[in-house]
Amino acid sequence: MFLNRFSLQERKGFIELALLGVRADDCITAEEVQLMEELRMGLGVDEEAFVAHILGDPKLESAVACFESHESRRLAYLELVSLAYVDGQYDPAESRFLRQVQAAFGVSDALSQQCHAWAQNMMKLRQIADEIIQAPQAVG
């Protein structure tokens, strides 16, 4: 949602963190694939470079090191929390991954709770948007 705020280096780090996030529970859902594609396009990463990231072996430490400011770390954390909720199932493995990122970025528990509340609200809004988009045409 706010991906345009990342520097080129932060975009690379975020893609790697997002890949680690979707892989955390060993189950990649269609919703996660769709959101990853939206993230790829939002970050302006071409398909070839994205595939290279997918085939690579991202590491949390090197991905975290790409972030230059407190703002970009909070933004990345917020987006990662949203990614964890996108399939409607918040898995314990995803929770462990997010706790690792939270610690690495120095995100407080209070801010983490705000991010989770925001992500849950965004998922509800996405569901409402889908219902609006898919509603049958009204006659009359």
In a domain, 139, yes or no: no
Q: Tell me if 140 is assigned to some domain.
A: no
The pair of structure tokens assigned to 65 is 């090191």
Residue 23: inside a domain, yes or no? yes
Q: Which domain holds residue 38?
A: 3-134
pLDDT digits (tens, 9 = 90+) for 22-40: 888 777 778 878 878 888 8
**Does residue 103 lie within any of the structural domains?**
yes
For the domain that residue 66 is a member of, what is the CATH number?
Answer: 1.10.3680.10
Asked whether residue 57 is assigned to any structural domain, the reply reads: yes
Q: What is the tally of structural domains in the chain?
A: 1
Are 86 and 123 within 8 A, CB to CB?
Answer: yes
Per-residue pLDDT tens over the stretch 43-74: 888 888 888 877 888 899 999 999 999 999 99
